[in-house]
Copies of this chain bind each other. A is one copy, B any other.
């Protein structure tokens, strides 16, 4: 399963806010064996959001958007996703009912448009806030406030799955330039994927389709490089 994430917000593109939502979602999806193929930040503009959502839903199995939900003039993601499907937004009865039952709101308390979702959308309740999310076909529309986004993602997490993989990291003080041939040989010998993340030490990430191959590959590499840490606890996904 291939997924794209679209984060919405002028505050991200201005550098005023650090996007941590997409990193968290990438981790969650990777753990489920889902490949994230794009993370893209777009401005608070209906046309731009709709264009990117449409491009990505044509290409990937699912699209997750975060941000741009709510009552203010720059919250336009619902309208944009509706536009991407050639639909209108309309009041969602289930969204109002949920807010009345769980939030103690009445329709009069809510800013006009709060429960507007793209026509035909599935509503996702916002357990940590007010503005509901939505699912339209393969497009998942989540809030931008991290606590709200995380709670809402849990409601749909089971809809994201892929090939199970097994990953380990080894950390070495050797420079990347000494590891190049070893990493290529490791990849070719064991059919694993290998990444290296430079820093004070170099972290080598090895990912395999089964735990035995991962253990064999990690042992092979451990005999050939200086390891200061790891293999870390084998994360399974």
Contacts and interface: CB of A to CB of B under 8 A. Distances in A.
Interface stretch (A152-160, A190-198, A211-219): A190-198
Contacts of A28: 15
A179 B72 contact: yes
Interface in A7-65: 10-20, 22-30, 35-44, 48
Contacts of A30: 13-15
The A interface is mostly helix, strand or loop, or mixed, namely mixed
User: Which of A10, A28, A29, A199 gathers most chain B CB within 10 Å?
Assistant: A10
B13 A197 contact: no
Interface residues of A, number: 52
B11 A19 contact: no
Nearest to A44: B195
A39 B23 contact: no
Contact of A205 (B11, B29, B71): B11
